[in-house]
Amino acid sequence: MTISKKLKKSMEQGSWIRKMFEEGILLKSKIGADKVYDLSLGNPIFEPPSKFTQLLKEYIEKPTAGLHRYMPNAGLPETRSAVAKNLSTEIGLRFTKDDIVMTCGAGGALNIIIKTLLDPGDEIIVLAPYFAEYFFYADNHGGKCVVLDHDSNFMPNLSMLDDVVNEKTKMVIVNSPNNPSGVVYPKTVLDELGIIIKNLELKYGRDIFIVSDEPYRKIIYDDTSYNHIFSSHPNTIVATSHSKDLGLAGERIGYVAVNPNNENKTEIIDGLTFSNRVLGFVNAPALMQHLITHLQSETVNIEQYKINRDFLWENLTEIGYEVIKPQGAFYMFPKSPIEDDLAYVSKLRENNVLVVPGSGFGSPGYFRISYCVDDHTLKGSIEGFRKVFRDHR
Amino acid sequence: MTISKKLKKSMEQGSWIRKMFEEGILLKSKIGADKVYDLSLGNPIFEPPSKFTQLLKEYIEKPTAGLHRYMPNAGLPETRSAVAKNLSTEIGLRFTKDDIVMTCGAGGALNIIIKTLLDPGDEIIVLAPYFAEYFFYADNHGGKCVVLDHDSNFMPNLSMLDDVVNEKTKMVIVNSPNNPSGVVYPKTVLDELGIIIKNLELKYGRDIFIVSDEPYRKIIYDDTSYNHIFSSHPNTIVATSHSKDLGLAGERIGYVAVNPNNENKTEIIDGLTFSNRVLGFVNAPALMQHLITHLQSETVNIEQYKINRDFLWENLTEIGYEVIKPQGAFYMFPKSPIEDDLAYVSKLRENNVLVVPGSGFGSPGYFRISYCVDDHTLKGSIEGFRKVFRDHR
């Protein structure tokens, strides 16, 4: 054996999204990319806001001396202050730079949070349908994910939380706006979660953190409001990135924000900073930190995402699919017309439409459509959705 | 307990370098920054080469559409090709993009290598004096570091390798040019290491990798030549970054190169790519990948480092310090005139000179001086070095 046995096993579990991605490449090379309607990936299609380029230009004209050097592991003080200021305005709690750690995207953020909070053997509750990477992130640090199921509206079955939490539970991950369902948890759900967790903390005599993974926070439609987690419980931490709201997914820039009212926040921030260092992130990329300092109130134009959502939802509903209209993110999660979502997704692929089976998100019987795609892809996919639906009626 | 017990323990072991850093801040706030001669950090003082800014300008004038999006986890194909091409020229072996994974610096590179190769309980041999972060990197993935000692020239005691390798050994980390000693291992040492490892692989019936951590590869003085590791053994992997050679430490851009003649290289690259993804790096920062594609043959002007080295070495030798003249990197590792390096370093601090005790690098009885500092700091430090030496004579 050359590589790690443990890693090999993880790799074999693989990822549905990645699998679809590879099958998509194969199909595209066979019949031509323009004939394949690939709705399998959540790769933002927009360029960053024009202010991004303008700031880059200003930087070149007047470079900050020493910007590209090592810095404190938590990030540039001015960037952390700008993030804190924006959060204070948005949320109405008083954040300072000492509540913020800049990270390599939300993936980096979640990894340093898990390393900071979990001991080997500890458990994380994930709410189905979930982003499958959580399982790998937990495993990186000796942790284990345990799933809490959802109701027909993709809301967590909070009444079942008591059954899945035990003396090893250290964290619950909330992801709203949700990937893959596009639902946004209402404040009542977050508050109920907070109350139940408080009781479970008393029952087991240990802290249990609610970690909100919210890279889609600013991608919200209609009159839906973003509900922050901080007022629901003091043991709350946000992990996020500018991948989607500023179109910077490849630049790996995000942050962790710890509840300013948490009584152990200094210890937590110190742990996050240390974890950022020893996991090899060291610090979030310097130039991006510098740029996003001045982009905290900017967002890519999400109007096109809304147009895509409406077009897709109207067409799928008209065909006969059962699908909840998403309130955020850029995914839709229809019910598979047959129980076997893997088989249904295969049928769609035979008709040149690529989507991801719900099994990859802990919710068999559904499939995920990403609508952050161009017009040709979105419109071209409808015929395949219609044909396969009719064939299975 | 709020944070992880395991992490808390790691944090208490802390880091000498960080400790000095904090004591330095305290001292500076007390007596004024200009009166403290801080030679404790390896933070490159040069700005990136002018071509870096020029490329950034070109990018703004004609942005590559979609550059900031997600990309393959191994990195941009054109960047990997450029790195491969440069390595092929430099080393004389034929690398292709499929031998390269772009990473978030050398710290990120080492973490994905360790995750890819080690199973929990596996061991890594580190050669004293060593970069202390290796211990944390190994621990991240359930591994353990075992130290091989050095001779009086800071060359590894290869004849003792048999005593520290066992059936759990999976890796040896080589760091040349070396932090903290500044020595460059000659080809004979690397070849001998390769032969011994080959025999130990036969003895234990498993692959043992030689991983060369070489962020200082291009910071080499006089007629010393960089000796690559690839011809010494097929199980060889390079981890490096552009932190020092291009002055981009804060930008987190580096790469892994796997020996193109390794028969399992596809499996290794797949493991590295997967590890890059699940550890939350996802990919090396996109814009930096784009820029360094065209900077593979550039290096910061190292002439000033050489001037600093010569000045410091001549002065220390003249004072009476026993110190090997470094051939690379930007560190010097004098013998402490008293056995207790911690006490000696404290005395230097009392005289406003900050350096790091050798104990932090597994070599008590020495201390590390970083000479990538400005003129004022370097020249101002000599008086303290002289005074404390005289006091202890």
Tell which A residues from 267 to 326 touch B, by Cβ distance under 8 Å.
267-268, 270-271, 274-275, 277-288
Which residues of chain A make contact with B112, given a CB cutoff of 8 A? 280
Would you call A4 and B280 a contact, using CB atoms and an 8 Å cutoff?
Answer: no
**Structure token pair of residue B322:** 């026993």
Helix axes A5-13, A133-140, angle to 10 degrees: 170
- Rounded to a whole number of angstroms, the distance between the first and last alpha carbons of chain B is 49
Which of B57, B207, B287 lies nearest to residue A60, judging by beta carbons? B57
Residue of A237, A278, A283, A287 to mutate when probing chain B, most B C-beta within 10 A: A278
State what percent of residues in chain A have pLDDT above 70: 98
Subunit contact A111:B280, Cβ cutoff 8 A: yes
Q: From the list A4, A47, A107, which residue is nearest B118 (CB)?
A: A4
pLDDT of amino acid B217: 95
B7 touches chain A (CB under 8 A): yes
Give the number of A-B residue pairs with CB atoms closer than 8 Å: 220
Residue B213 DSSP class: E
B283/A252 CB distance under 8 A: yes
Distance from CA of B390 to the nearest CA of A (A): 35
Tell me if chain A has a CB within 8 Å of the CB of B98. Answer: no
Asked if residue B98 lies in contact with residue B267, where contact means CB atoms within 8 angstroms, the answer is no
Min Cα–Cα distance to chain A from B66, Å? 7
Residue type, B15: S
Contact (CB<8Å) A267/B53: no
Q: Strand pairing of B331-332 and B254-258?
A: unpaired
pLDDT digits (tens, 9 = 90+) for B225-251: 899 999 999 999 999 999 999 999 999
Q: Do A280 and B109 touch (CB under 8 A)?
A: yes
Ramachandran sector of residue A57 (left: φ over 0; alpha: ψ -120 to 50; beta: rest): alpha
For range B172-195, the mean pLDDT: 98
Nearest CB neighbour to A279, from listed B47, B120, B279: B279
The Cα of A77 is separated from the nearest Cα of chain B by a number of Å equal to 14
CB contacts of B250 in chain A (<8 Å) are: 67-71, 283, 285-287
CA-based nearest residue to B124, from B266, B264, B239, B9:
B239
Mean pLDDT of A227-255: 97
pLDDT of residue A16 exceeding 70, the answer is no
Chain A residues 203-232 with a CB less than 8 Å from chain B: 206-207
Ordered by where they begin, the domains of chain A are 5-48+300-391 (3.90.1150.10), 69-292 (3.40.640.10)
pLDDT band at B393 (very low <50, low <70, confident <90, very high): confident
Asked if pLDDT for residue B41 goes beyond 90, the answer is: no
Per-residue model confidence (pLDDT) at position B26:
85
pLDDT at B214: 97
pLDDT at A22 over 80: no
Q: Kindly report, residue by residue over A37-62, the tens digit of the pLDDT.
A: 999 988 888 899 999 999 999 999 99
Give the model's pLDDT for residue B328: 97
Q: Is B7 within 8 Å of A270 when comparing Cβ atoms?
A: no
Among candidates A67, A251, A280 on the partner chain, residue whose Cβ is nearest the Cβ of B287: A251
User: Which residue in the set B118, B250, B267 is minimally distant from A286, CB to CB?
Assistant: B250
Residue A374 to residue A392: CA distance in whole angstroms: 28
With beta carbons less than 8 A apart as the criterion, state whether B381 and B311 touch.
no
Percent of chain B with pLDDT over 70: 98
Mean of all residue pLDDT scores within chain A? 95
CA distance A364 to chain B (A): 23
User: In this structure, what DSSP letter does residue A156 have?
Assistant: B
Query: Where is average pLDDT lowest: A148-162, B4-18, B38-52, B76-90?
Result: B4-18
3-state secondary structure at position A251: helix
> Is pLDDT above 70 for B16?
no
- Alpha-carbon distance B387 to nearest alpha carbon in chain A (angstroms): 31
**Cβ contact B140–A252 (<8 Å):** no
Average pLDDT over residues A132-141: 96
User: What pLDDT, on a 0 to 100 scale, did the predictor assign at position A15?
Assistant: 65
In chain B, the percentage of residues whose pLDDT exceeds 90 is 90
Q: Which residues of B touch A264 (CB under 8 A)?
A: 2-3
pLDDT, average across residues A305-316: 97
Mean per-residue pLDDT, B334-341: 97
| Residues of B with Cβ-Cβ distance to A117 under 8 angstroms | 2-4
Predicted ipTM of the assembly:
0.96
Cβ distance B278 to A247 less than 8 Å, yes or no, reads no
pLDDT over 70 (residue A366): yes
CB B209 within 8 A of CB B237: yes
* A78 part of contact set with chain B, CB < 8 Å: no
The residue-averaged pLDDT of A67-85 equals: 96
**pLDDT higher at B64 or B99:** B99
Question: How large is the C-alpha radius of gyration of chain A?
Answer: 21
A44, closest residue in chain B (CA to CA): B69
The Cα–Cα gap between B191 and B208 comes to 15
Contacts with A53 from chain B: Cβ below 8 Å: 60, 63
For the segment A307-313, the average pLDDT, to the nearest whole number, is: 98
User: Average pLDDT over chain B, rounded to whole?
Assistant: 95
Residue A326 has pLDDT above 70, yes or no: yes
| pLDDT level of residue B44 (50, 70, 90 thresholds) | confident
**Subunit contact B4:A119, Cβ cutoff 8 A:** yes
How far B88 CA sits from the closest chain A CA (Å)? 25
Show the DSSP H helices in chain B as ranges: 5-13, 16-31, 50-61, 77-91, 105-117, 133-140, 161-164, 187-204, 265-278, 286-292, 303-319, 341-350, 375-391
Over residues B106-156, the pLDDT tens digits come to: 999 999 999 999 999 999 999 999 999 999 999 999 999 999 999 999 999
Query: B68, A57: Cβ pair inside 8 Å?
Result: no
Do the Cβ atoms of A278 and B250 come within 8 Å?
no
Q: Mutation test of the interface with chain A: which of B1, B282, B300, choosing the one with the most A Cβ atoms within 10 A?
A: B282
CA angle, B238 then B241 then B242, to 5°? 140
In chain A, whose CA is at the least distance from the CA of B270? Answer: A11
CB-CB under 8 Å, B270 with A115: no
- Backbone phi, psi, residue A113, to 5°: -65, -45
Q: Is A4 on the interface with B (CB under 8 A)?
A: yes
Which residue is associated with the tokens 């393959």? B72
pLDDT of residue B323: 98
Q: How far apart are CA B1 and CA A205, in angstroms?
A: 10
